[in-house]
Amino acid sequence: MAEETKKVSEKVEKMVEEVAKLSVLELSELVSALQEKLGVSAMPMAAAAAPVAAAGEAAPAAAEGGNQTVVMTAAGAQKINVIKALREINPNLTLMDAKAMTEAVPAEVLKDAKAEDAKSAEAKLKAAGATVELK
């Protein structure tokens, strides 16, 4: 699989190495500085996450077909662990999206997932300190 990795320029590789050394607080500052410098915002991504949580109302009908929806009802005291668990469950989530999910509960984590995937996600989130329910 290493052969499939896309080659990047030496300049980009050095930047990746430097960014990997930053703390979470420093990464947050970097994101803010880049957003300001480039005139972009993460708001469209956060706004797109809100309708996903509202779609959870239609989930009980889907649960009857064997698929389940995992809904986080509370993030708990250890939000960092919950954010890590969310990103482990869904690697496509950005750090900001996962953080937004912990703050906007109830949040739909998995929709129409196989029962075994839903149970696994539920276990990971509960181990991280979140309150979760399956629908």
131-134 and 67-74 strand pairing: antiparallel
The Cα–Cα gap between 67 and 62 comes to 6
- DSSP state for residue 6 in the 8-state scheme: P
- DSSP state for residue 22 in the 8-state scheme: S
What pLDDT, on a 0 to 100 scale, did the predictor assign at position 5?
60
The Cα–Cα gap between 61 and 59 comes to 5
Residue 102, CA distances (Å) to 23, 121, 125 in order: 20, 15, 11
What pLDDT, on a 0 to 100 scale, did the predictor assign at position 43?
53
Same domain, yes or no: 24 and 75: no
Same domain, yes or no: 85 and 21: no
Domain limits at 97? 43-134
Same domain, yes or no: 29 and 47: no
Q: Is residue 24 part of a domain?
A: yes
Note down pLDDT in tens along the chain; length 135 residues.
Answer: 444 566 788 998 898 888 888 888 888 888 888 888 887 766 544 444 444 444 444 444 444 447 888 888 888 888 888 888 888 888 888 888 888 888 887 888 888 888 888 888 888 888 888 888 888
Q: Is residue 85 part of a domain?
A: yes
Same domain, yes or no: 68 and 112: yes
The Cα–Cα gap between 15 and 34 comes to 14
What pLDDT, on a 0 to 100 scale, did the predictor assign at position 91?
84
Same domain, yes or no: 80 and 64: yes
The Cα–Cα gap between 89 and 55 comes to 19
> For the chain, how many structural domains are there in total?
2
